[in-house]
Chains A and B, each alone.
Chain A
Amino acid sequence: MKNWSDIEYTKQRVISNVKIAPGSHIIKFHRNNPFIAGQVLALGVNTEIEPRLYSIASAETDDLITILYSEREEGSLTPMLSLLKAGDTLLVSKPFGTFTKVKDNAVFVAAGTGIAPFMSMLQSNKVNHATVIHGAPYPDFFYFSDYLQSTLGERYIQCCSRCLPGCLYVGRVTKFLKEWDSLDTNKNYYLCGSAEMVVETRDILISRGVSVTNINSEIYF
């Protein structure tokens, strides 16, 4: 995504923009197009700054679109995005993308804000008996953990890479997947995160006997 002149977009009023953890925010605005859980849209603050793609985290039927994003100090968009207040204008593309087909008993593996498309799928009731394995450096970064805990119970696994030993698994999702006794090679695995995380996770799943046809990935780029 390079230029706003390349894409169709509308201007939306920000309903809320809340910091939920250090450098992490949730921005909400009215939904003006239908979407399928798992889709992305491009966001921007003005046409001068390159748009970026974000997965939608809200349910298909919600009136508001929820976007989870991390502020990147070196970035051109997110420092400005984080300053937006209710009533400010946001540029929003139509939703698109096909990371939308999910099978029951799915295992969702996410790092950081990669949890967003899976939140949308779960809240849209697209899947039964899903398991979520979420990786984050510290407890504050387990976004939506209240919902996930109450909805999935033991099928919600938090992998905390920089936590002290305690109630959470200490280590990255990749370490967890290497050690996971209950890994089921017949299930479908859905991965979302950075290229490095997705590639490493995919290699581990394959080495543990999961067929590559049962792995679907969304990479943030």
Chain B
Amino acid sequence: MSLIPLYGKTLSELTEIVVAEGLLKYTAAQITDWLYHKDVDSIDQMTNLSKKVREQLSVKYTIGLIAPEQVSESADGTKKYLFPTGINKFVEAAYIPETDRATLCVSSQAGCKMGCLFCMTGKQGFQGHLTSGEIINQLRSIPEFRNVTNIVYMGMGEPFDNLDNVLKSTEILTSEWGMGWSPKRVTVSSIGLIPALRKFMEQSNCHLAISLHTPFDEERKMLMPIQNVYPIADVVAEIRKTFKGGQRRVSFEYIMFDGINDTPKHVKEMTKLLNGLECRVNLIRFHTIPDSPLRGTADAKMLEFRDALTSKGIFTTIRASRGQDIQAACGLLSTKALIERK
């Protein structure tokens, strides 16, 4: 019988486990303290549990940390970690150090079902959802674990297609019994699956990033098939209904494609779409992927686009590209070659 990982379980899940084991309820709080505050690697290190209880738990359970199998380092200091997540399934996480912060970009699924035209992950199909443990393990099991200041769910997969596990992982990150992070340090990105968006807005205080990429319906269908099911106008309308402001930040990601979504007409439509919504826009350089008909917009034109949006009152930034030389930059994460080799 394979052992069940405790890492990635929420306080309520651990409470169910200890009650089922005939232990006192508060044992669950002791376990979360060991898992998420004291960062132990084995049940035997949970020394305020009696030896008998530790032995009892060890029959069925393990901490369940998974070490990365491989690391690549970029000239700019970005590191890409490869994690196994089951038989012939792999995910990548990107650690991006900067002067005043260090961001970890985590995956929520092995592969992806969304098939966006500009993304490498979509080209490998879908291999499976990650558990909450497999998601936060990407943080816990890298050597820079204690340096990480921010987490973004922008790696492989669509987080809202695996929302229950994503919400469990953000609960662990942000709860007092968990890692105690501020929700302001966690950003979950999505292409906008509306029912899941509604649930996320109700149940989480973390930042939200929506992949917008063009405000025009036909163009977005070409870039992102999900537009056929959940149009961006409906996604923005849902955000307007559910976003209460406060500490939470809503941002829109916008990869810039030469001659496709970088014209004054796009600025005008973006202004209409986002009018009055408290949000920001992040412009992202397109990192060319094999056989793609798309090309990235030149830097000068990106600056013009940023300035045009800013002049319309939309706070707009250009995101720095990191880790391109190790295929760790936005849209480049893929484990397809590895799956094929195995």
Write the residues of chain A forming the contact surface with B, with a CB cutoff of 8 angstroms: 1-3, 6-7, 40, 53, 96-99, 194-196, 198-199, 202-203, 206-207, 211-213, 215-221
Residues of B75-126 at the interface with A, using a CB-CB cut-off of 8 Å, are 112-115, 117, 122-126
Q: How far is the CA of A80 from the CA of B231 in the complex (A)?
A: 31
Is A6 a contact partner of B231 (Cβ separation < 8 A)? Answer: no
B37 at the interface (CB under 8 A from A): no
The answer to whether the Cβ of B143 comes within 8 Å of any Cβ in the partner chain is: no
Instruction: Return A191 CB to nearest CB of chain B, in Å.
Output: 8
Q: Which of A53, A99, A219 contacts B114 (CB 8 A)?
A: A219
Q: Are A98's CB and B227's CB within 8 A?
A: yes
Known: A195-B126, A199-B125, A203-B291. A221 touches B198 (CB 8 A): no
Q: How large is the interface on B (under 10, 10 to 19, 20 to 34, 35 or more residues)?
A: 20 to 34
B residues 265-303 touching A (CB-CB < 8 Å): 291, 293-294
- Residue numbers in A under 8 Å from B114 (CB-CB): 195, 219, 221
The answer to whether A221 and B161 touch across the interface, beta carbons within 8 angstroms, is yes
Question: Considering only CB atoms, which chain B residue lies closest to A53 in the complex?
Answer: B229
A199 to B121, CA, bound (A): 11
Shortest CB distance B79–A (Å): 28
13 pairs across A/B with beta carbons < 8 Å? A1-B195, A3-B195, A7-B195, A97-B229, A98-B217, A195-B115, A195-B122, A203-B123, A211-B293, A216-B221, A216-B222, A217-B228, A219-B115
**Which of chain B's residues has its CB closest to A197's CB?**
B125
User: Which B residues are within 8 Å of any A CB, using their own CB?
Assistant: 112-115, 117, 122-126, 158, 161, 163-164, 193, 195-196, 198-199, 217, 221-222, 225-229, 231, 291, 293-294
| Interfacial chain B residues near A98, Cβ < 8 Å | 217, 221, 227-229, 231
Q: A206-B293, A218-B225, A219-B113 are in contact. Are A3 and B199 (CB under 8 A)?
A: yes
Select B199's contact among A2, A97, A199, A221, beta carbons within 8 Å.
A2
Q: For residue A3, which residues in chain B have a CB less than 8 angstroms away from its CB?
A: 195, 199
**A41-B66 Cα distance, complex, nearest whole Å:** 39
Q: How far is the CB of B228 from chain A (nearest CB, A)?
A: 4
Bound Cα distance A174, B241 (Å): 42
Given A195-B115, A207-B291, A221-B113, are A2 and B225 neighbors across the interface (CB < 8 Å)? no
Kindly list chain B residues whose C-beta atoms are within 8 Å of the C-beta of A203: 123, 291
In the complex, are the beta carbons of B225 and A196 less than 8 A apart? Answer: no
Interface of B is mostly: helix
Min CB–CB distance A197 → chain B (angstroms): 9
Residue numbers in B under 8 Å from A207 (CB-CB): 291
Which DSSP category, helix, strand, loop or mixed, fits chain A's interface?
mixed
- B200 nearest CB across to chain A (Å): 10
Partner of A212 from the list B113, B198, B222, B231 (CB cut-off 8 Å) is B222
B212 to chain A, nearest CB (A): 17
Question: Residues of A contacting B196 with CB < 8 Å?
Answer: 1-2
A210 and chain B: residue at smallest CB distance = B293
Assess whether A202 is in contact with B125, with CB atoms less than 8 Å apart.
no
Given contacts A206-B291, A218-B228, A221-B113, contact A6 B222 (CB under 8 A): no
Q: How many angstroms from the CA of A133 to the CA of B158 in the assembled complex?
A: 29
Assembly CA distance A220 to B123 (angstroms):
15
Distance A109 CA – B164 CA, assembled complex (angstroms): 33
Q: How far is the CA of A97 from the CA of B193 in the complex (A)?
A: 12
Residues of B within 8 A of A195 (CB): 112-115, 122, 125-126
Closest to A40 in B: B229
By beta carbon, the residue of chain A nearest B225 is: A217
Residue in chain A with minimal CB distance to B219: A213
- CA separation between A196 and B294, bound complex, in Å? 20
Q: State A211–B259 Cα separation when bound (angstroms).
A: 14
Q: Chain A residues near B126: list those with CB within 8 A.
A: 194-196
The CB with the most chain B CB atoms within 10 A, among A40, A53, A96, A207, is that of A96
Contact A212 B117 (CB under 8 A): yes
Q: A11 to B282: give the CA distance in the assembly, Å.
A: 43
Q: Which of B112, B161, B199, B221 has the most CB of A within 10 A?
A: B221
Does B199 lie within 8 Å of A196, measured CB to CB? no
Q: Which residues of B contact A213 (CB under 8 A)?
A: 222
Give the Cβ gap from B167 to chain A, nearest Cβ, in Å: 10
Distance in Å: Cβ of B268 to nearest Cβ of chain A? 21
Taking CB atoms, residues of chain A closer than 8 Å to B123 are 199, 203
**Bound Cα distance from A209 to B227, whole angstroms:** 24
Q: Tell whether, in the assembled complex, residue B122 and residue A199 are in contact, meaning their CB atoms are under 8 Å apart.
A: yes
Q: Which residues of B contact A96 (CB under 8 A)?
A: 229
For residue B193, which residues in chain A have a CB less than 8 angstroms away from its CB? 1
- A138 to chain B minimum Cβ distance, whole angstroms, is 22
